[in-house]
Structure 1
Amino acid sequence: MAIGNNLLVNREFSIFNKSLVLAMNNSLFDFYINKKFFIL
């Protein structure tokens, strides 16, 4: 039971981490594009 719960928590945590990393990458990308726009 505990192992099953840990697997579920780990899966949810990895999904959360992936979405967090994706969001951070998107904001960095937006920032980079805005900076280039500003320079141009």
Structure 2
Amino acid sequence: MAQHDLIDYCVKAKTSRFTPVIMLIDTANLLQSCCSSNIR
């Protein structure tokens, strides 16, 4: 996926009613990234 497509998707996602779910997934991904980098 091209970067501008990803940004467009994020903008659409933010305006959708699924925003809380997406935010939750983003937070989970962020926590997972933090944990992975701490283990290394």
More helix by share: 1
> TM-score, normalising length from structure 1?
0.59
Structure 2: state its 5+ residue gaps.
Answer: 1-15
RMSD: 1.3
Report Cα offsets for 1:1-40 as digits up to 9, x if no partner.
xxxxxxxxxxxxx71xx10000000000000000000000
Q: Which has the higher contact order (CA 8 A, sep 6+)?
A: 2
Percent of aligned positions with the same letter in both sequences? 12
Scaled by the length of structure 2, the TM-score of the pair is: 0.59
Q: Which structure: larger Rg? A: 1
Structure 1 runs of 4+ off > 2 angstroms?
none
